[in-house]
A and B are shown apart, each in its own frame.
Chain A
């Protein structure tokens, strides 16, 4: 039968069906509207009847075009049925609207992971979904549950799992339930094995099935089974040879088949490469350009029988279900002014308060811990991170805050007097404030400020410059056409910085204020070289780190020791050879130059404490590329020098993941990991440093002493190998199950700071561990109870953790795995009985040949304590019979935890 015949064969019947269908539909709408609007997502017969009613009346063209979008929608419009479509907003750390942040800038999802708090996860989901709804969006593109396999990952900030699947399996559904209870669809991403950004468009991840099942899938599985997540986004990379959006095994077999996922699989940004493969694999929406799921591409496969009608219809049903179950057909929200910014502000602050991890707090010479500080303490603050608006990564997670509290401001506001807190700007790399001088002319050396700029209309500095003039500094932005500095502002005029036809030479003089090496930093969208005193200090070849979203290139270098007050020449040569650098999402087109001292001022020892805020920002970290393990901008050396001058040095680390701390870890008085702490991060940090808030964050990752110790290092030693013309295209997860602390346990090695670690201003005692049964019967849940006591003198939260350790396992298994945690607030001297459940899945491992989660008969140690290396309590649990759990029926969370991550209607707003 030809396709034309098929569409023409029963016009009368078709017309009748259509009329009947529309009539039923109208009836269905009238019947179901109230019920559907009451709780989202609505499920059940009313939804399915309405979906089928529409589907039955769609022709093939309408169906296929309902699986692709190219007009800004996520779920396409279907106006014949009054469906206007949906819009999804990027919303990892804030809702990205009008190329700005609509509501609050939240802490990164890696920071949320560090809270280990179901309450904070729900609060974040509720607040950001409220903002999404008010902004007129129907869907958020988060949360992310990929694992922290490597510290290099440019998108570590966007993932809430840390390095452990159980942590993500608890927090992600709590976020999703918060989002979806507000009537907004969540999207779990990036499915699957998207643990690196480097060469993400071409990367093939080779990983065995058991590792996928035990480590990389449970976060997604939990969002499906415990939150009915509306959509899952398939990523850019390949997994075992098939692109993520063309991976039939992962999408159709596992996600939709075994787990019973009823939602929509949406492609990452044009991540489908082959229409048939993408369609057959189970991807439901080809977005945002709809290049593959066209009638021209898909119909031949339908006609030939390679794609059955069911495959097309299934996509349409899922996309319709996305509309009907959220009542978007009749009640589509549109943008309004944000009436309650305080919801997001509060959620952002609360998360930051609980996310910051205190890693080190040594005694001062007075014999007491350095932290908390007295509010009368005289404090010096160093570093742009403390001074500037709280940063976010480069890329779609970029979320510049509308209002914020910087760390410097937070400290100044909370100190007994703002004059107690002093910012040392001479140690700050800021292109706006760096001081530049022209070569001395007679006696006018000091006042003769600025940078001589020579602008050429070619990329090779050839011929006479188009324009020569003195600029107040080098902070040139080609998109805004400005050069804004504290010494003055100029416009980009009199020359044309056209990509492929522009170069510039900047010459100046610096006069260091502190003797010693100086650090220089250049950020630009092209190649550059910088000389100080005629010595090459830094350079970049200008080759982008990414092939899609391209960030400007930031490089730093240090000079030889320079003497304070003396003059030293500076020359920067910059070429604009290509125009593919992105001027938005934290990127910049232009050139920036700054310098600062790498030695502290002589009076630094006079301060009671020194706060050094360091780490990565959108300049160094984000989507599309991976980064190194070292702190940027020579910050490690700065910390060492500051600590040498003042032992009461407090280092505040920032970034989506962690960076190398080993060079100075034992030399400073205190260390905190603050992640991307969000718009209220400065308040939260100040509250912790002054003791108003007792720190309770714990590490969701292991911090390596050196990157070579990281279990992923053997297969991923260098992100640079995945860049450029000969970029590698394969990554084997050779560590298998032994990621993070699992790998350290296997090697019996010690990291710098273990998974789950974090200090408090008080102390906690663990005692009296009991199991509700010493035998785990099939289908049962065992309560693990113990007494947790605040043995110190300050109130605070403790994150108690439960690990399962198989005793003499029949197969190769990690020594222990996280299978429970909870967060409890205790006043000084207070004790609480804490309960955490475990079930058969908590004890199981995946067996590929039977596609089951198996529990062997045997013994398991149940370990409870404060972190993965400090597990004070243990009991033995026995299983008498082997058990096989199906992938369909088993759940990453025991039943009580499934209930704990739910959000009820009374919590919505």
Chain B
């Protein structure tokens, strides 16, 4: 099976599983709008390969960044000769 076909199949499975969660709630047309949104987002993640990376690790609360305060002026707006 080619990689693109794998992607399509994965996307279809993901969409199906997403749709399952929502399908139980389906009572109006707005639900299908949201199913489309979920499906499109899943497709995007499949196409880019992000879905294979998995969700970013939730590091949670963290310590302060040790980054100096920027003190640069805005770029010059003076006319140059």
Contacts and interface: CB of A to CB of B under 8 A. Distances in A.
Interface of A: 71-73, 85, 87-89, 96-103, 117-119, 135-137, 269-270, 288-289, 334-338, 345-346, 349-350, 353-354, 389, 402-406, 409-410, 413-414, 478-479, 498-500, 544, 547-550, 578-584, 589, 680, 683, 686-687, 692-693, 772, 781, 783, 795, 797, 820, 822-825, 832, 835-837, 894-897, 899-901
A578 B21 contact: no
Contact of A72 (B46, B73, B80): B46
A350 B70 CA distance: 7
14 contacts: A72-B43, A87-B44, A97-B56, A118-B75, A119-B75, A136-B49, A288-B40, A403-B58, A405-B62, A499-B25, A547-B30, A580-B25, A835-B77, A900-B76
B2 interface: no
Interface in B4-46: 11, 21-22, 24-31, 33-34, 36-38, 40-46
A825 B71 contact: yes
Given A135-B48, A403-B60, A549-B34, A900 B74 contact: yes
Contact of A102 (B25, B50, B61): B50
Given A579-B31, A582-B34, A498 B24 contact: yes
A580 B27 CA distance: 7
Contacts of B31: 579-580
B78 A823 contact: no
B77 A406 contact: no
B74 A117 contact: yes
Central interface residue in A119, A692, A781, by most chain B CB within 10 Å:
A119
B48 A579 contact: no
Nearest to B8: A71
B30 A548 contact: yes
Nearest to A346: B67
Contacts of B56: 97-98, 100-103, 338, 402
A99 B41 contact: yes
Contacts of A350: 67, 70
A448 B70 CA distance: 55
Contact of A73 (B47, B74, B80): B47
A683 B65 contact: yes
Contacts of A99: 41, 55
Nearest to A97: B50
Nearest to B71: A825
B1 interface: no
Contacts of B48: 87, 97, 135-137, 334-335
B65 A346 contact: yes
Given A119-B70, A896-B79, A72 B44 contact: yes
A352 to B, nearest CB: 11
A631 to B, nearest CB: 26
Task: Tell which of B21, B44, B48 has the most Cβ of chain A within 10 Å.
Answer: B48
Interface size class of B (residues with CB under 8 A): 35 or more
A900 B79 CA distance: 11
B27 A579 contact: yes
Contact of A837 (B37, B64, B71, B77): B77
Nearest to B60: A403
Contacts of A548: 30, 33
A784 B50 CA distance: 50
A74 to B, nearest CB: 9
Nearest to A693: B69
B64 A822 contact: no
B36 A289 contact: yes
Contacts of A825: 71-73
A897 B77 contact: yes
Nearest to B77: A896
A579 B25 contact: yes
A136 B50 contact: yes
A87 B59 contact: no
B16 to A, nearest CB: 15
Given A100-B55, A783-B78, A87 B21 contact: no
A108 B54 CA distance: 25
A155 to B, nearest CB: 16
Contacts of B22: 579, 583
A402 B21 contact: no
Contacts of B53: 98, 335-337
Nearest to A584: B38
Nearest to A74: B44
A844 to B, nearest CB: 19
Given A402-B56, A581-B25, 15 more contacts: A97-B45, A100-B56, A135-B48, A135-B50, A402-B57, A402-B58, A405-B64, A478-B25, A579-B22, A693-B69, A783-B78, A820-B77, A832-B73, A894-B77, A896-B78
B25 A589 contact: yes
A409 B59 CA distance: 15
Nearest to A832: B73
B72 to A, nearest CB: 6
B43 A71 contact: yes
B13 to A, nearest CB: 14
A345 B56 CA distance: 15
Contact of A500 (B27, B59, B60): B27
A832 B71 CA distance: 14
Contacts of A405: 61-64
A42 B9 CA distance: 35
B77 A683 contact: no
A580 B45 contact: no
A692 B65 CA distance: 13
B64 to A, nearest CB: 5
Ranked 8 nearest A-B pairs via Cβ: A72-B43, A579-B25, A136-B48, A580-B30, A403-B59, A335-B49, A900-B75, A335-B50
Contacts of A836: 77
Given A72-B11, A345-B65, A835 B76 contact: yes
Contacts of B51: 98
A837 B44 contact: no
B67 A579 contact: no
Given A118-B74, A405-B62, A72 B40 contact: yes
A197 to B, nearest CB: 15
Contacts of A334: 48-49
Contact of B21 (A88, A479, A835): A479
B74 A288 contact: no
A118 B51 CA distance: 34
A759 to B, nearest CB: 18
Nearest to A479: B21
**Which among B45, B55, B67 has the greatest number of chain A C-beta atoms within 10 A?**
B45
Given A87-B44, A403-B60, A98 B54 contact: yes
A238 B29 CA distance: 22
Nearest to B73: A824
A827 B41 CA distance: 48
Contacts of B47: 71-73, 85, 87, 136
Contacts of B64: 405, 410, 413-414, 683, 686
A580 B34 contact: yes
Contacts of B62: 403-405
B61 to A, nearest CB: 6
B79 A837 contact: yes
A269 B37 contact: yes
B42 to A, nearest CB: 8
Contact of A402 (B33, B59, B67, B72): B59
Contacts of B43: 71-72
Contacts of A354: 70
Contacts of A73: 47
A406 B55 contact: no
The residue among B11, B33, B44, B55 with the most chain A CB atoms within 10 A of its own CB is B44
Contacts of B67: 346, 349-350
Nearest to A825: B71
B22 to A, nearest CB: 8
Nearest to B58: A402
A102 B55 CA distance: 8
Nearest to A408: B61
Contacts of B75: 118-119, 899-901
Contacts of B45: 97-98
